[in-house]
Structure 1
Amino acid sequence: MRQRWQKKPTSDSGLKSTASAPGKVILFGEHFVVYGSGAILCAINRRITVSAEAITEKKIRITSDVGSLDMEPGIPACDVGSSLRSLYHIADTALRSHGIPGIKMAVKSDIPAGVGLGSSSACCVAGAAAVSGLFPDSSREKILELAVDAERTAFQGTSGADCTVCTYGGIIRYGAKSHEKIEPGPGFGLAVASSGTTHSTESVVARVKKFRDANPAEFSRMCDAESEIIRSAKGQIEQGETAELGRMINQNQQYLEAIGVSNQTLQEMVRIGQGAAAGAKITGAGGGGCVFALTDGGTGAADAFREGGYECFAAGIDCDGLIVFN
């Protein structure tokens, strides 16, 4: 059985909770969202599942496909030298708030890390929900707040957009103070292709900031243009206007290339996607990772990516968002 929230009485060891959250594709707005332009994101049908259990030892223990962690609680997240520091922060926050000795967590993922598909955000959302499920009075809003706080231990400047779509699912238009769901028209499809290389979000974000500082007027103009694309794209998605939506996606890609987050491999992949579909662009930080093509549900773009030597999958829209299991 699954439900959105799972509430349990506070106690000692033996309490267990499991939660799952989807990955995402950024249709519009990566990097520019941090500077107020907003974004449109789509949750996809690849998931991370996190289980949490209260234990009697004064420990935070985490196991995952990318490593493990076994530490005393009470250490600042910035001093945790592990890629699992965000989950450590979630567990440590819960221990301080609820007074139990320790927590162990286990992570299972079918979202590849470091490729722009929201693995870190999905992990934070699922982790926050799993740990919150050990205690009463959890809510989706509190879980999202904890997840964003945790993600900031890894990416200080995160906008919160990724965690928001991983929590609510579907397609959303995200702004700094609110978000709204977008219901796509018929024929909305995505083909996601991997470059085979990961990226460092921090280094790419720093590169964008350097460009912005050196070219303030040009960057401001692109932010304004991106905001206008995002305002217009909502209607195009709802009406299923694939051709116009593809044109906007290609325009967004030009901005990403201008601010320096693309490279030769990504540009080759984008050109393959644009040649076989209405539009294609980078998703996520750039510098590596993935590209998506907007399709009408056909296989032409996926076939073209594979013929070019790139792994590819058809991404469905995940409408569930965060799920808590019991």
Structure 2
Amino acid sequence: MKSIASAPGKIILFGEHFVVHGTPAILAAIDKRVTVTSAFTDNNIIRVNSELGTLNVPVSSPYEEVKSEFRPFVYLANEMITSNQNVNGLEITINSDIPIGVGLGSSSACCVAATASISGLFKELSSEENLKMSIEAEKTIFPDTSGADCTVCTYGGIIEYDKINGSKKNTDASNLNLLITNSMIPHSTKRSVEKVSKFKEDDEERFSQLCALETKLIDEVNIALKNKDLITLGLKMSENQKYLEEIQVSN
């Protein structure tokens, strides 16, 4: 028996990094996807196949002891196996057309697709249940995740998200076409998050001001989207970029 699931990548249009600290963000799913195929095995092994390599670990191996890129899959496999004692092992295969390390949500899409694929061997989860487990899987790599990326990878479309109120679809932007370019500059989410935390620690007053400015910007963006005002939208993207430059996470 096999279970196959896929999820889209994402782009954060506004609020990137600030969303971790409670401000709203606007995100969009993109037309690049991750597909995960899961199957039962009889060898008491969790096997993960991906373009990053192959991992074989005994069932019940602590996910903390494996390389970070494999942790979500080992975590999810053990969660499911623990709940279903008659399972001896799992093989999980990841195929992705999302570029890695460029901010397009490859990790989050993997978590969402893997949760749906692995759980599909046992039972079908609701979107809400799948999202909750996906976020827990993502926390094995990024403990401070806001949950925004997994949310848009679960529901698709364009959403507004914040940590307190969750997400809502932005139907005003349903016909918005976006062109995404890859700067080819290596990107580390972990290091970027650390930079932002350091900025906040060094100058909490200015960081609070930037969060307030970002929240105001999101409100203005929503008005521009409602009015189909692409000129204002472009100007707001430039303004958003200045805030990212100030917290030292812009290329």
Q: TM-score range by the shorter chain?
A: over 0.9
- The equivalent of 1:88 in structure 2 is 74
- The equivalent of 1:64 in structure 2 is 50
Q: Is the aligned partner of 1:195 residue 2:187?
A: no
Which residue of 134, 138, 141 maps to 2:125? 138
Q: Which moves more between the two structures, 234-243 or 201-210?
A: 234-243
Q: Which moves more between the two structures, 133-142 or 51-60?
A: 133-142
AA of the residue aligned to 1:255: Y
Residues 187 and 240 in structure 1, CA contact (< 8 A), matched pair in contact too = no
| 1:23-77 deviations in Å (ceiling 9; x for gaps) | 0110111110011102110001000000001112211001011111110122222
* In 1: Cα distance, 2:222 partner to 2:118 partner: 35
Q: Which moves more between the two structures, 166-175 or 177-186?
A: 177-186
| Pairs within 5 Å for 1:65-144 | 65-99=51-85, 100-144=87-131
Q: Using the TM superposition, give the Cα deviation of residue 186 of structure 1 relative to its aligned residue in structure 2, in angstroms.
A: 7.8
- The equivalent of 1:269 in structure 2 is none
Q: Using the TM superposition, give the Cα deviation of residue 81 of structure 1 relative to its aligned residue in structure 2, in angstroms.
A: 2.4
- The equivalent of 1:245 in structure 2 is 233
| 1:129-185 deviations in Å (ceiling 9; x for gaps) | 001111125211111111110111011111000000000000000021321000245
- The equivalent of 1:206 in structure 2 is 194
* In 2: Cα distance, 1:234 partner to 1:218 partner: 24
Give the TM-score taking structure 2 as reference length.
Answer: 0.95
Which residue of 19, 23, 27 maps to 1:37? 23
Which residue of 173, 185, 202 maps to 2:160? 173
Structure 1 residue matching 2:69: 3-state secondary structure? coil
* In 2: Cα distance, 1:39 partner to 1:53 partner: 36
Distance 1:110 1:137, change over 3 A: closer
Give the TM-score taking structure 1 as reference length.
Answer: 0.74
| Pairs within 5 Å for 1:218-233 | 218-233=206-221
- The equivalent of 1:153 in structure 2 is 140
Unaligned segments of structure 2, at least 5 residues? none
Q: Which moves more between the two structures, 97-106 or 195-204?
A: 195-204
Pairs aligned (count): 249
* In 2: Cα distance, 1:107 partner to 1:98 partner: 23
Residues 59 and 70 in structure 1, CA contact (< 8 A), matched pair in contact too = yes
Unaligned segments of structure 1, at least 5 residues? 1-14, 267-326
* In 1: Cα distance, 2:223 partner to 2:92 partner: 41
Identity of aligned residues (%): 43
Q: Using the TM superposition, give the Cα deviation of residue 16 of structure 1 relative to its aligned residue in structure 2, in angstroms.
A: 1.3
* In 2: Cα distance, 1:190 partner to 1:56 partner: 46
Residues 182 and 238 in structure 1, CA contact (< 8 A), matched pair in contact too = no
Q: Is the aligned partner of 1:236 residue 2:224?
A: yes
Residues 31 and 208 in structure 1, CA contact (< 8 A), matched pair in contact too = yes
Structure 2 residue matching 1:254: 3-state secondary structure? helix
**Root mean square deviation, CA, Å:** 1.4
* In 1: Cα distance, 2:194 partner to 2:173 partner: 37
* In 2: Cα distance, 1:89 partner to 1:187 partner: 37
AA of the residue aligned to 1:101: N
Residues 68 and 141 in structure 2, CA contact (< 8 A), matched pair in contact too = no
Q: Using the TM superposition, give the Cα deviation of residue 122 of structure 1 relative to its aligned residue in structure 2, in angstroms.
A: 0.3
Structure with the higher helix share, 1 or 2: 2
Structure 1 residue matching 2:122: 3-state secondary structure? coil
Residues 113 and 198 in structure 1, CA contact (< 8 A), matched pair in contact too = no
* In 1: Cα distance, 2:176 partner to 2:189 partner: 28
Q: Is the aligned partner of 1:48 residue 2:39?
A: no
